[in-house]
Each structure stands twice: as structure tokens, then as C-alpha cells.
Amino acid sequence: MGIQSDKSGQRSRRLEGKVALITGSTRGIGADMAFRYAEEGAKVVVTGRDVERGAEVARKIQAAGGQARYVAADMGKEADVERLVAETVKTFGGLNVLINNAAPTSLIAAASDKLMADHSTEEFDAIVKVALYGTFWCCKYAIPPFLKAGGGSIINISSIASIRGFACMPSYSASKGGMNALTRQISTDYGRRGIRANTVIVGVIIHELTAGMIATPAMKEAVYGSISPRPGECADVTNLAIYLGSDESTFMTATELLIDGGAMMRGVPAVLADQVKKSMEV
């Protein structure tokens, strides 16, 4: 991948002239992607429900010389998503890259650690509505401006929970598994028309939202049970997202790319298997 330079030896801006909409970009991985996309020359729309944080991310990008705007939106509401895409196009004149990164983090924490039989329909629906329906709506409303532009790149941020069993995560794993399938379907239906769709499947990434979770035995094993000598960082995901959003990756579509430090090389962590066993004994 690497950083490219122009003939003068200066660092090239790999996303120059592109318009990028990044969901869940008020903090964590999403915010990191927003800052880096702007550094690479993209015009960025920051979005999420936290107005104060979102406005601050956009302000910092602008203060550093980048172009950004914050648009408040709830990914669990179709009307919000439709408006979000429309305002992106109106503000910057088009849309070239869509990154579906939003996840209902607070809801996941509240509804986790339950077997499926103990998981309420309301809990399941609330998480799937944001993590899967939100992705569907973003793609649905982004496709027309993509087609008008002659193509575009959709980057869906998934999780290793979509392809590997983790204890007591029925709604989150189902939504991310659905995201993987949706990515393949978009590629199939629109690939010939210039729209690329790829999935980035991440393991545990350390940032402000996950740092406090590392104290739990399950998370410790998920982080330090990989074959990498270090835990994952936001930059690991962002670097790949930049490549997928740039013209360097125009022959890549319908792929599932792992950023997990080799965690998938191992089986289900023993501490997670024990957690399920204990739950079944209750």
C-alpha cells in the first residue's frame, strides 16, 4: 500500500477531489478516518448523534486546513439517513466514498452477555436497526449519486463476530453477518456500473470506547490471544479504508478483508467458551 509521492518528492494526496461520507465519525475509528481522509484531500461529512463531538471533529479538520461538515443523523431512522446523503451531495456537489462505520455501541453494551433465548425482541431490533438497516439505507440513498458520478466506493466496517462465534452476542453478530452479505450483493448488482463494495472485518481495536473493556477476561483474551505482538489501533483500519476509497483499489470489490492481528487463526477463546457453558448451566 504505502504512501505515494509525486515527481517533486512531496507526499501525494490520495483522495484529492473525492467526497466522503463517514458514519459513526464523532469518535473512535470513525473520527480517525475522518481526520485522515481530510488530510488525504477528501471533502468529509462527519455524522453521528453526538452533536457536540461531531461539530468538534469537523472544526478540527477545518482548523487543519481540511474541508468538513458535521451533519447530525440517527442511523436507526430512514428519514435521517436520506437527509444525510442529500445534504452531503448538496454541500459538496456529489458523493464518491461511503464508509458505514456506525454501530450502536451503548445498546450493544446494554444488551450483551445474554443467550438468544434471554434476548428480547426489542433489544435485538434496536441493534439491528442501526447496524444493519442503517447500512442498507446509507447504501440505498448513496447509490443514485454514485451512478451519477460514474461510480463510487462503499466500505462497510464489519467485525470478526460476523464470521466467528462469540458468547452472547446474537443481535450484533447477526447484523454484521448481514452487512457482509449485503456488501456482496451490492457488488453483484452494481459492479458493472462502477460501484465497488468491500467489507473490512475488524478484531478488537483499542480506542476511547474500547479501552475500558480490556479489563474483562473475555476482552483480554480477544486482544492478547491474537498472533500480533500488539493490540489493534484505529490507524490500522484507517490505512486500509484510505486504500479502498482511493483509485489505487479500483479492481477490488466484493472482498472481505481482515484487520484482526491474526485472531481468526485461533479457535474460540477458552474464556468465551466457558462463559457460554456457565450460562447454559443456569
Catalytic residue numbers read 172
Beta bridge partners of 195: 152
**Please, which residues have CB within 8 angstroms of residue 281's CB and are 6 or more apart in sequence?**
none
- In this structure, what are the phi and psi dihedrals at residue 26, rounded to the nearest 5 degrees? -85, -10
Task: Work out whether the CA dihedral 48, 233, 208, 40 comes out positive or negative.
Answer: negative
Instruction: For residue 43, give the nearest of 21, 26, 71, 76 by alpha carbon.
Output: 21
